[in-house]
Structures are given as structure tokens and as C-alpha cells.
Amino acid sequence: MSTNPLILFAPLLGALIAGLFGHRLGKAMSQKVTILGVMVALVLSIGAFFRIAVDDGAVEHTPIFSWIISGTFHVDFAMFIDRLTAVMLIVVTGVSCMVHIYSVGYMDEDPDHPRFFSYLSLFTFAMLMLVTGDNFLQLFFGWEGVGLASYLLIGFWFKKESACNAAIKAFLVNRVGDFGFALGIFTIYMVFDTLDYAEVFRLAGSGHYPHGIDFLFFGPVDTITLICLLLFVGAMGKSAQLGLHTWLPDAMEGPTPVSALIHAATMVTAGVFMVCRASPLFELSETALAVVTLVGAATAFFAASVGLVQNDIKRVVAYSTCSQLGYMFFAAGVSAYAASMFHLMTHAFFKALLFLGSGAVINAMHHEQDMRRMGGLRKKIPETYLLMMIGTLALTGFPFLAGFYSKDIILESAFAAHSVTGTVAWLLGITAAAMTTFYSFRLIFMTFHGRPADTHAYDHAHEPPLSMRAPLLVLAAGAIGAGYIGRPMVEEGWFKGAIPLAPGHEALAHAHHVHWIIGWLPFGMFLFGLFLAWRLYILQPGLSGQIAGRWPKLYRFLANAWFFDRLYDRLFVQSARALGTGLWRVGDETIIDGYGVNGLANRIGLLAGWLRRRQTGYLYHYALAMLVGLVVLITWCV
């Protein structure tokens, strides 16, 4: 009997206990129960990781029970752990555990404690379902499950109108992505008659399937390309890629620990994980890979450019997350899946650190999130400053910290792919790297350097309590060491059967041999970005305002995130509302009921009334009618 299913059920149990009996158990007990659940999952995950990845054990596959059976359609709930899943297990349970502990301090004043911890554990359960499935439907289960948890947590402060709207937006935009994802699953089932990973990948690899199918008005299309692109639409929603990214910045309405866990380290990386998990399919379609590369690169560039001008501390980090996810995707697009997973892992540490650090800053400033009202905090909260600096350096790729290894290998892979899309991705990625450094240090400088903008808040700023500091220290250790420790992941074949590469897809192998100038170029970009940030925010603090004034249109374009929200509002929200009203008032009430149902009733009523009025009761009316009738009859007969 394997203990692996306990990895799933321990957090679920914690969530149920805290959710159902939380108000009776009280605050402290709810915390303990959920933290215990996640810790059990963490310990077991570490065990599984050691067995599978360190001791080189076999893939562990434990079916739990059959979910849906109808005819030949058969789907199980299962625990499937190979090296790919093992890495995800560590990331998910590790960050989740840190975030649970951090929340004890951060949410201390909130009366709704049990509910919050219950949601966090529920999220952890759904995310673990997502990564441990052995089939596409369990993946989808987790996929929508994390969407629900995200919805609940973004809207946690449900009294706030903006939080509720952000929650709905996150759910709906993700639903749009899931729409594509579901169609992808339907296509997989139709083509392969199964949703099991192993079977699907085996059949796809063997080539025994119909290679072209008709899809809507596109005519016959390549089967695998179609499947991959549909699945990728789902990934774009979940991982906030350009086009379906609009929910992520708004999701910052949720409590900060949520942003760290869901919107930085785990849920948003589900799309990346999915592409890596389905890499045996993606490897078979050059078109799909090219799309993944371009979308990823465009997102990396777009989000970084928007991050340059944000003033809300959490929004800067949110756009940064969006941008870093773009890096992960274009790495996957050039078949450097291992680099993608490597960056996913390191990013989880330093981005969770940055978010939780921002939370500490917000906490210190009494729920102020606008960086323009901060400044000079390094003297008041030096420890937080140090931790934020570590996170920033790790993100921006300062030598020998986590991001240095993982981001560089991604850029090198894109360069070494020697394809048009790879080169485009490299150019956009290297530009985005400079922007990343700029906005990250802009954040540091605006928050911790210079003069305090709000002296009252500044005077009352304080370091966070121990329960918040301890997780930050653990994550900081990860941000420093994860890159060095995790390097073996990107060596050839570390992921074994989980990520088989098609012949010719050797970008990652070549990445180790690029020219040293290419290798050190990101560091050059780092210095350039740092210099600019220093020039604009330390040396000459008024200069940034002048630049914004010089190009107002460009500034507005960036500040409004390329106007995506406004476009979508006009295009979808307004038109759906107008259409809904029109169909209701005109379609249902005027046409169907007005002319149809009630109209018919009225006609019948009128006809009956007319007939009734003919029966006047006056003898001479009847006599006249008879006479006319008689005349007509005679005329006709004669």
C-alpha cells in the first residue's frame, strides 16, 4: 500500500476540517490542522522525490479509484509520480507550506481565519490533483479546481466590490481558456479513444491515428497540431499569456499570501507544467511549438514593458510573473522543456519571496500598496529590505543566484535553437531581461531608498512577526541556492521518459555550447537595467516624470497595459450585455410572446369577439343574412 495518495488527502482533510468545523475549532486549531495537512504532504513529497529523482527509482503509479465509466470511456483518479511530477510536488507543497505559515502572521487580524486556511488547503489539494494525474481528465479536474480556489481566494474579502469583480474576471477568463482546453480533450478522446497519458503518447508516437481531421471551417488540419493548440489555449488562460492575461493583475485584489502561492509560484505555472507533461504531443508538431514560442516571447516582452510604469507594488510583481511565465513558455517552445521546468522551480522560490516580501512591506505600511507613498524604508525594516533584495537579484539574474542559471539557460536555448521563432524569442527575451532589471530595481528604489513620502506611515513601519519572517528566510535560501542545486535538471535526459525529445530538437544540448558573449549578454542587460533604474530613481528622481511627460501616448499605452481591458470590455462585455437585453426584450417579450403567444391569444379573442357581435339577437339582422344567403345560393345554383 503506497503512502502517495496521502499527499493528496492530507491537505484535503485539512481543508474540510477547517472549512466545516473551523468556527467551532477556533483560529489556532484551524491553522494547526491545515498546516499539519500540508506538512504531511510536504514530507511525503520529499520522500517521493528522493526515491524517484535522487535514488533513481521507478515511476510510481497508484490508481485510487475509477471516476467515470461509460462504454469504452474510462477514467481513473490516480497518483502518477515521475520526475516531472516529483519536481512539481516539491514546489507545490513547499511553497504552500511556507505560505500557510506566513499567513498565520499576515492574516492575524482577519476574523475569517478558518475560511482562509481552508481555501488555501483546498487549493493545495486541487493543485496536487493537477500534477499527479495519469490522464487528461484528472488534469482538467485539478485545472478547474485551482480555478475555483483562485476565485474564492481572490474574492476572499467579499465585501469589497473590486475583489468580487476581480474574482469573477479571473474565473471567466480562465473559463475561456478552459473552453479551448476542453475541446482539446474531446479531440484527444476522439482520435485516440483514451485519455490516459501513457496510451495517448504511445499511440501518438507510433503514428497509428488519423493524421488529418476536419475542424470547423478550417478544413482538414493536422491532428496533433490541432490538439496541441487547443490545449495551449487552456495554458494561456491559466498561465496568463498575452491575450488571456488580463485577469492576473486584477487578481492582486486577493490577500498577498494568495498572490504568492497561486499567482506566482504554483497555479499560474500549471500551463507550463501541462505543456511539459504533454511534450510527447507538442514534439510532434512544429507549428504548435512555434506558436508556443511566439506567444511566450510576446508575453515576456509585453508584461515587462507594462511593469516598467506600474505604481502598485503588487502589480509590478504580478506583471513580472506574467513576463517570467512567458520565458518558461518560449523555452518549452524551442523544446527546452527541462529549462522551462528549471525556471519554474527557481521562479517559485524567488517570486514567492518577492510577493511575501511585498506583503511584509504592505503590512509595515498599514495596507498601503502605492509605491509613490513609500520610500526610505530600508532604514526602518532592514531585514525585509535584505530579503527583497535577494529576491530581486535572483529574479534579475545576478550571477550565481537562482535566476542567473535558469533564465540564462532559457535565453541560450532560444539562441541555440537556430530557428526564426527561436531567434525572435531570444531578441524579445533579452530585451525583456533589461526591462526586468529596470522595473525590479525601480521597485526597490521607490520603496526602500530615497525619502519617505508619507512620514506618518513611515514612522509606524515595523518588521513583520516571526511567523512571517521564517518562511521568508526559507524562500530566500531557495532563491540563493535553487539555481545551483537544480542545475542537473537541464542536463541531458534528466527527466527521462517524461520529456522525450524529437530528433533535431536539441536546443538545450546546444545551449551549453553557445559563445561566451551570448552567455554573458543577459548579465550585460542586467547592468544596463540597473544603471537606468539608478539614474532615474536615485540620481535624478524627477527625470522619470519628465520622460513620461515627453511621450504621453506611450506612457498611457504602457500604464493601461496596452489597452487590453478596454478593448475586451467593448468587444465582449458590452456586446454580451446589449445582446442579452435585446434578445430578452425584443426576442422573447416582443416577438415570441408579443406576436406569437399573446398575439395569437389576442387574435383568437378578436375573432371570437367579432363572431359574438354578429349574434346580435335582432331578428332583422338574421332575416337580412338569410336573404343574402338565399340570393347567393340561388344565383350559384341557377
Partner 1 sequence: MLSLVTFLPLVGAAAILFAVHRDASARIVALGVSLATFLLSLGLYAAFDTSTAEFQFLEEVPWLPGLGIAYRMGVDGISLSLLLLTTLLTPICILASWESIKTRVREYMMAFLALESFVIGVFCALDFLLFYILWEAMLIPMFLLIGIWGGPRRVYAALKFFLYTLAGSVVMLIAVLVLAHQGHTFSIPELMKLHLPLNVQVWLFLGFFVSFAVKVPMWPVHTWLPDAHVEAPTAGSVILAGILLKMGAYGFLRFSLPMLPEASHYFAPFIYGLSLVAVVYTALVALMQTDLKKLIAYSSVSHMGFVTLGLFAFNRLGIEGGVLQMINHGLVSGALFLLVGVVYDRLHTREIARFGGLALRMPVYATLFMVFTMAAVGLPGTNGFVGEFLVLLGVFATSKGVATVAATGVVLGAAYMLWMFKKVVFGEIRHADVDALTDITPRELALFVPLLVLVFWIGFYPDPFLRLLHASVNGLLTQMAAGGVGAEHATLVAP
Q: How far apart are CA 551 and CA 174, in angstroms?
A: 34
CB of 273 to partner 1, least distance (A): 17
Q: How far apart are CA 78 and CA 75, in angstroms?
A: 9
CB of 588 to partner 1, least distance (A): 6
159 vs 550, which CB is nearer to partner 1?
159
Residues 6+ apart with CB under 8 A from 382: none
Closest CA to 400 of 479, 513, 509: 479
CA-based end-to-end distance of the chain: 104
175 vs 487, which CB is nearer to partner 1?
175
Q: Which cell numbers hold the place of 153?
A: 481566494
CB of 65 to partner 1, least distance (A): 7
Q: How far apart are CA 359 and CA 314, in angstroms?
A: 8
68 vs 630, which CB is nearer to partner 1?
68
φ and ψ of 99, to 5 deg: -70, -40
Task: Determine contact, residues 530/439, Cβ cutoff 8 Å.
Answer: no
43 vs 164, which CB is nearer to partner 1?
164
217 vs 620, which CB is nearer to partner 1?
217
CA dihedral 226, 227, 228, 234 (to 10 degrees): 110
Task: Determine contact, residues 399/406, Cβ cutoff 8 Å.
Answer: no
CB of 166 to partner 1, least distance (A): 11
CB of 553 to partner 1, least distance (A): 33
Q: How far apart are CA 19 and CA 16, in angstroms?
A: 5
144 vs 283, which CB is nearer to partner 1?
144
CB of 214 to partner 1, least distance (A): 7
CB of 581 to partner 1, least distance (A): 5
CB of 72 to partner 1, least distance (A): 5
Q: Which residue type is seen at 630? A: L
141 vs 337, which CB is nearer to partner 1?
141
Q: Which residue type is seen at 137? A: L
168 vs 559, which CB is nearer to partner 1?
168
Residues 6+ apart with CB under 8 A from 160: 253
Q: What is the CA radius of gyration of the chain?
A: 30
CB of 599 to partner 1, least distance (A): 12
CB atoms closer than 10 angstroms to residue 78: 21
554 vs 592, which CB is nearer to partner 1?
592
CB atoms closer than 10 angstroms to residue 258: 28
CB of 213 to partner 1, least distance (A): 8
581 vs 616, which CB is nearer to partner 1?
581
Could you list the residues that contact partner 1 (CB under 8 A)? Answer: 65-73, 137, 140-141, 144-145, 148, 151, 155, 158-159, 161, 164-165, 167-168, 171-172, 175-176, 179, 182-183, 186-187, 189-193, 203, 208-210, 213-216, 576-577, 579-581, 583-584, 587-588, 592-593, 596-597, 601
CB of 100 to partner 1, least distance (A): 22
Element (H, E) at 595: none
66 vs 560, which CB is nearer to partner 1?
66
The helix/strand count (H/E) of the chain reads as 28, 4
Distances (CA, A) of 163 to 213, 254, 534: 43, 7, 35
φ and ψ of 79, to 5 deg: -110, 115
CA dihedral 501, 504, 509, 511 (to 10 degrees): -120
